[in-house]
Amino acid sequence: MTLDQRVGLYEACQQLSPIHPEHATLPIQEGFNWSSSLGEANFERLYLVVFRSVLRATADIDLLYEQDELAHGEAIEAGGLLFYFRGEINERGESLSFCLWGNGGQALRASGSPSHREAMGFVSQMYESYSLERYDLLKVGGGKGSFVFRPREGVSSPQDLGGPGQPT
């Protein structure tokens, strides 16, 4: 991929946005404008990591935001992050965030960063439940093509974290 093609892909990714008010609970392929954003972009495969959560009423939103900012900064430094969508928390405490990467190795490298590991340490304190989904986002048919969201092995199922202070 040429530099111009990488820049074009990055710019296309910045156009991703929700197309449905319930995007946090819809399958990832149904909640966002994938075709209109990435339809013209030049790629065959990207790596997508989706984090769905239900926030505890007692969660420290400021601490969550701070940890998220630190982990996001380290993800950028690791290289390969094309787009980060930070979801809003709905009235039921549900949220969906995702990272779109050039490949899974880049995501794995970033997930080992100190800030990311520290942020993961707060999961049981901050969330009633969460799930982590991983996909290969495949563009098929060339040109405008269509997309296949192929689940990767190791996709986490929803985790119920129990009540406050309970072990996970």
CATH code of 111's domain: 3.30.70.100
Q: How far is CA 50 from CA 4, 16, 44, 156, 163, in A?
A: 27, 14, 19, 10, 24
154 domain-assigned: yes
Whole-prediction pTM:
0.87
165 domain-assigned: no
If you search the block for the tokens 């969201």, which residue do you land on? Answer: 149
* DSSP class per residue in 115-131: HHHHHHTTHHHHEEEEE
11 domain-assigned: no
Query: Nearest Cα to 152, choosing from 13, 21, 81, 49?
Result: 49
91 domain-assigned: yes
Range of the domain at 140: 43-160
Along the 168 residues of the chain, how does pLDDT read in single tens digits? 565 567 799 999 999 999 999 999 999 999 999 999 999 999 999 999 999 999 999 999 999 999 989 999 999 998 999 999 999 999 999 999 999 999 999 999 888 888 888 888 888 889 999 999 999 999 998 767 799 999 997 655 455 454 333 332
DSSP bridge pairs for 127: 55
139 domain-assigned: yes
4 domain-assigned: no
What is the domain count for the chain?
1
20 domain-assigned: no
